[in-house]
Amino acid sequence: MKISIAWLAATLLALPASAQQHAEHGQRAPHRPMMMRMHADSSHGGTGMPLMMEMHVYSPAHLLDRRETLSLTDQQVQRFTQLQTEFQAAHERARQEAEEHVRQAQQAWVGGDANGVATHVRAGMEAMQQAHLAMVTASTAVRAALTAEQRARVQGWTDAMRMHGHHGGMDHRRHHGGT
């Protein structure tokens, strides 16, 4: 059985009812973990674009797809390709580990083993954190390797996404004169 990261996230990171009520009313639930706040809240200057979404814009694959628009150097392409390979490997390891813990948590649930469920849910969440950290590390390294001009162009994309209320799926090349 193949389990998606999205399903896993929903399964392992389901919010308590009180946190959902806070979110429905636009309030931050103070007890939510930092990674969840980074997903749910406006983390970048009050503009409405969550930090994790912005990090996706700086992902190695995303910027490699726009290498001509950004005028990436051969050295940048090589570095971003290496970072993408490392990210994919770390993400896949974390996904497989998380899937295994979901299976084990399901077995513990069926067997009525509350401690086993809790143990495997925690371990699955830790594996998901490792996947997030791999993305954060790769995106941060990519952003640091861009020139000021390249960063400004990518920042323009994220600003446009915020302005238009898009958090993904926008074709930056069409909207920003790229190829």
pLDDT in tens, 53-101: 778 889 999 999 999 999 999 999 999 999 999 999 999 999 999 999 9
3-state helix, strand, coil in the chain (%, to 5): 70, 0, 30
Q: Find, among 54, 44, 95, the residue nearest to 63 by Cα.
A: 54
> What's CA 89's distance to the chain center, in Å?
15
Location of structure tokens 């490997």: 89
The residue with greater pLDDT, 82 or 9, is: 82
Q: Find, among 110, 120, 84, 101, the residue nearest to 5 by Cα.
A: 101
> Residue 31 gets which letter from DSSP?
T
- Determine the Cα–Cα distance for residues 103 and 121; give it in Å rounded to an integer: 10
What phi, psi does 150 have (nearest 5°)?
-65, -45
CB atoms closer than 10 angstroms to residue 110: 9
Three-state SS for 114? helix
Residue ranges of domains in the chain: 5-9+46-69+83-159
> Residue 58 gets which letter from DSSP?
T
- Determine the Cα–Cα distance for residues 143 and 67; give it in Å rounded to an integer: 14
Contact 142, 63 (CB under 8 A): yes
Q: Find, among 44, 35, 45, the residue nearest to 15 by Cα.
A: 35
The residue with greater pLDDT, 149 or 8, is: 149
Give the range among 56-60, 150-154, 174-178 with minimum mean pLDDT. 174-178
Q: What is the pLDDT of residues 156-173, one digit of tens each?
A: 888 887 777 654 444 444
pTM, 2 dp: 0.63
- Determine the Cα–Cα distance for residues 59 and 27; give it in Å rounded to an integer: 29
pLDDT band, residue 104 (cuts 50/70/90) = very high
- Determine the Cα–Cα distance for residues 63 and 143; give it in Å rounded to an integer: 10
Task: Give residue 39's pLDDT.
Answer: 41
